[in-house]
Structure 1
Amino acid sequence: MQVAILSKSGGGYSTRRLLEEAEILGLYAEQIDHSLCSVRLSSDGSELFLREESISGEFQAVIPRIGSGVTRHGAAIVKQFEIEGAFSVARSLGIIRARNKVRTMQLFAKEGLPIPETLFSINPESLSAQIELLGGPPVIIKMQEGTHGTGVILAESLASAKSMCDTLYRLGTPILLQRYIEEAKGEDIRVIVVDQQVVASMKRKGALGEFRANIHRGGLGEAVQLTKKEKAIALQATKLLGLGVAGVDLIRSKNGPLLIEVNASPGLQGIESATGVNVAKAIMEYALRGSGRKRR
């Protein structure tokens, strides 16, 4: 079986680990820069290219690692692999859904999943009223698309919230507001789900003076035991978005766990280091199983 790992760089930890595990399993895996891929469409059908070379039909499985800067193009390339019969561990529609925070929050709210109180609007004139709907400052301001904690701001006063939101509105950046969960104390939980199974989980604590717990922001991770409810939330959220592989972020509040977001291309370095779990192997084995199911 041949596996395409869609990643802009082959030097990152996650991509390297996936390539290593493919070799151990006796699979051929290749890192492909999806930003260099194109699709030719005509009345006769379609064809997928990497630069000038046709790669249509060459791969039986795809592991997408799509960055936020090329979400739509990357998802379109994943869709083309799907059209050609390849199995993707994260389907194109799931990638699009997970990247848009408002869309995911709407889906989670519709299904009754526990989420922080969230509000989105494009009307800067009613910002004070919007913040009051969330119980007043402090509030979290989030860009609707972002990863690794980028585009997440803590506004501790109404004045700072107005200033930050006004700047983002003027830049045409879609945002949402969320109630700040003080008792979380800068900690969250990252859960890795593969093929509707929780394979690893860690608690992340933000660096000194940092409210974001992301490892990429200097946070520290350690293995954590999930409650039954936390496992159920992670599995339901992943299934709802249609993702075979996902990183689900939760926080623990005084009223129980809250679902923050779902990442369709979770990093592997922090979770493997913190837990000792071979997540890359679990993903590669899932790609193998999924490809086998499609062929049957």
Structure 2
Amino acid sequence: MKLAILSRNSKLYSTRRLVEAARERGHSVRVLDPLRCYLRISAEGFGMHYKGRPIAGYNAVIPRIGASITRYGTAVLRQFELMGSFTPNPSDAIARARDKLRCHQLLAAQGIGLPVTVFGDNPDDTVDLLSMLGPPPHVIKLNEGTQGAGVMLTEKPSASRSVIEALRGLYANFLVQEFIAEARGADLRCFVVGGEVVATMRRQAPKGDFRSNLHRGGSARAVRASAAEQAAAVRAAAVLGLGVAGVDLIRSRRGPLVLEVNASPGLEGIEEATGLDLAGRVIDHVAAAHQPLRRNAA
């Protein structure tokens, strides 16, 4: 298999592990910076150059597209798709996952549990918006934040109004959600590959914080997700169209609730916590999934 990995930095842990796993399995692999890919689009076909030279013929592409380059990165990935490359996470699926509001709408429409969420734009409606949610604490999230950045907890109505007004003054897009106190600052990261939860870690927020992200100082250990939690994670990834996903859940009195679906889940924390070769699972899934495409093309 001729494989491309879209990543801005070949030295990142997740990118390195995917390269190692692909080479261990005898595949040809190359890391491509999506910002150095440029595209030719015409009725006669699609072409691409990378650092001044034409590139083509990749059987599969694994996207590791950061939030800051979602728009251009997904355009590059879409070009690969149009040129016949398989990807476990299509460009449209990544766009759905990155937009938290759109993601929550799609999940809720399929009956997948999530924290009650409200969204509004007009500052005159802030009080009514918060009344739709209920009393604080409230969790306020930037619509495209990652790794716990842009997530705030407010404990009084006045604090919620102040944060909302400040974010509107910055023309930021954000959501407001109920706070699930019984989670006690913990969540689960379920790593989904090919419609199966292949690993789960429980992340615990550090003392004095409610965000459990490892980038925020949280701790992690391997756990086994319940059948209901695994089902929720698999369904969430499927609804968004992702073959590889990190689905973040919290345990609540009404069952597992989906917080976020990550289309470029990091490997370092969960491989370290579980001791599993998850990069290898991703490569094996991609290698198996692209075979039917190759036979159909033939």
TM-score, normalization: structure 2? 0.97
Greater Cα shift, 39-48 or 241-250:
39-48
Unaligned runs of 5+ in 2: none
Return the alpha-carbon distance in structure 1 between the equivalents of residues 56 and 19 of structure 2.
Answer: 21
- Alignment-derived partner of residue 273 in structure 2: 274
| One-letter identity of the residue aligned with 1:26 | G
CA-CA distance at 1:44 after TM superposition: 2.4
Match in the other structure for 1:202: 201
Alignment of 1:86-105 (within 5 A): 86-105=85-104
CA deviation vs aligned residue, 1:97-117 (integer Å, no higher than 9, x gap): 000000011111111111110
Superposed displacement of residue 128, structure 1: 2.1
1:28, 1:154 → 2: CA distance? 46
Query: Does the CA-based 8 Å contact 2:6-2:63 persist in structure 1?
Result: yes
Residue 131 of structure 1 aligns to a residue in which SS? helix
Residues 204-232 of structure 1, C-alpha deviation per residue, up to 9 Å, x if partnerless? 00112111111111111111111111111
1:49 corresponds to: 49
Partner Cα distance (2:41, 2:220) in 1: 45
Query: How far, CA to CA, are the matches of 2:51 and 2:152 in structure 1?
Result: 39
Q: Is the 8 A contact 2:189 2:247 kept in 1?
A: yes
Aligned length: 295
- AA aligned to 1:41 is I
Map of 1:115 onto structure 2:
114
Output the amino acid matched with 1:43: A
Quote the Cα distance in structure 1 between the aligned partners of 2:207 and 2:96. Answer: 33
Q: Report the secondary structure of 2:40's partner residue.
A: strand
Residue segments in structure 1 that go unaligned for 5+ positions in a row: none
TM-score by length of 1: 0.97
Higher alpha-carbon deviation: 127-136 or 112-121: 127-136
Which residue matches 1:259? Answer: 258
- Tell whether 2:22 aligns with 1:22: yes
Q: Please give the root-mean-square deviation of Cα atoms over the aligned residues, in Å.
A: 1.0
Deviation at 1:182, TM superposition (A): 0.8
Conserved in 1, the CA contact under 8 Å of 2:46 and 2:82?
A: no
The 3-state SS of whatever aligns with 1:234 is helix
Residue pairs, 1:131-142, within 5 angstroms: 131-142=130-141
1:170 corresponds to: 169
CA–CA distance in structure 1, aligned partners of residues 285 and 50 of structure 2: 25
1:238-279 deviations in Å (ceiling 9; x for gaps): 111111100000000122111111000000001001111111
2:185 equivalent in structure 1: 186
In the alignment, is residue 228 of structure 1 matched against residue 227 of structure 2?
yes
Secondary structure in structure 1 of the residue aligned to 2:96: helix
1:7-86 equivalence runs, <5 A: 7-57=7-57, 59-86=58-85
Q: Give every structure 1 segment of 4 or more consecutive aligned residues whose post-TM-superposition deviation is greater than 3 Å.
A: none
Shift of 1:18: 0.5
Q: Deviations over 1:158-209 (max 9, x none)?
A: 2221221111111111111100111111100000000111110010001121
User: Structure 1: how far apart are the matches of 2:41 and 2:23?
Assistant: 34
Quick one: distance in 2 between partners of 1:201 and 1:88? Answer: 23
Distance 2:243 2:196 in 1: 9
